[in-house]
Amino acid sequence: MSEFVSVAIIQARPPYYDLPKCVDKARSLIREAAANGARLITMGETWFPGYPAWLDYVPQAALWDHAPTKQVYARLYQNSPAVDGQEMSELRRLARELDVVLLLGINERVARGRGNRSLYNSIITIDASGEIVNHHRKLRPTFSEQMVWAQGDGAGLSAADTAVGRVGGLICWEHWMPHARQALHISNETIHAALWPAVKESHQVASRHYAFEGRCFVLAAGSIMLAADLPNEFELPEALRADPDQLLLHGGSAIIDPDGEYLAEPVYGEETILYAELNLERIIEEQMTLDVTGHYARDDVFSFEVNRRRLE
């Protein structure tokens, strides 16, 4: 593991619910980030093929037996990648070619023929060798998200060894689940990807708290979405129809030091790639005062256990 690691967050607007175009755009942006020296690259929550923000912006979407919602879900399902599918294979080859580590947020479709038609909100960690070294499914879809995603499990609730060190990630409101955080902390995480639809103020607080608590670097990754990106199957409210260029997801991506301070300040409202050079010795420096899995732990008082069985 090198002492310094160059990292990047791709804050971009995915071609919503068009998986081939998502892969093409991601490939181009990953190549750009790698050409600028990044060894670890991440993107926002379910970037492939986009976060279902219509859950928050279309009042009729949650109605029982609503035909447009069913049609949108079917289109999302058809454009979601499988972990062992063609699109993921292409991205694995790209990681190997560029010698980079990728942490990718996907709407995960289980491979056809397995009898499981559910979607999962997942993080796939691809090492620089092209090998998938971790596969985490969001433990609890939040509120209306339960219409779209099934519950995940603890199988991927850990950091993984990669070419740049021990790398892990959590998705959105998992950062407010103390046990989920602790499971990552005890796995000796050095770099953490915090994947959000957009990193609004409360998400900044959670990401900075995670860095301080875990004494690790945090890449808080958000995406860009316009009103025009909402599925055309829905009848949109007048305010959205009148201003299709208004931002629904405004990015906010940032890179945070183990003391909770920003290495790269949040960027809002634009497509960009954020970069930072991480000095991994900063982790040891900050652990002198707080190490929640070392001298600040009380294993004689608390016990902790994770069920890491994959639920199919």
Question: What CATH number should be reported for the domain holding residue 276?
Answer: 3.60.110.10
Q: Convert the pLDDT of each residue in 278-307 to its tens digit.
A: 999 999 999 999 999 999 999 999 999 999
Expressed as residue numbers, the domain containing 41 is 4-287
Residue 215 located in a structural domain:
yes
Mean pLDDT score of the chain? 96
**Cβ-contact 55, 144 below 8 angstroms:** yes
Per the structure, the count of domains in the chain is 1
The pLDDT of residue 115: 63
CA distances from residue 295 to 132, 139, 216, 238, 305 in whole angstroms, order as listed: 33, 29, 16, 57, 19
Instruction: Establish if 196 belongs to a structural domain.
Output: yes
Task: Tell me if 236 is assigned to some domain.
Answer: yes
Q: Is residue 161 part of a domain?
A: yes
Residue 8, in any domain of the structure? yes
CA dist 225 and 269 (Å) reads: 9
In a domain, 301, yes or no: no
pTM: 0.97
Residues designated catalytic: 45, 138, 172
Residue 71 resides in a domain: yes
Q: Is the pLDDT of residue 116 over 80?
A: no
Residue at 309 is within a domain: no
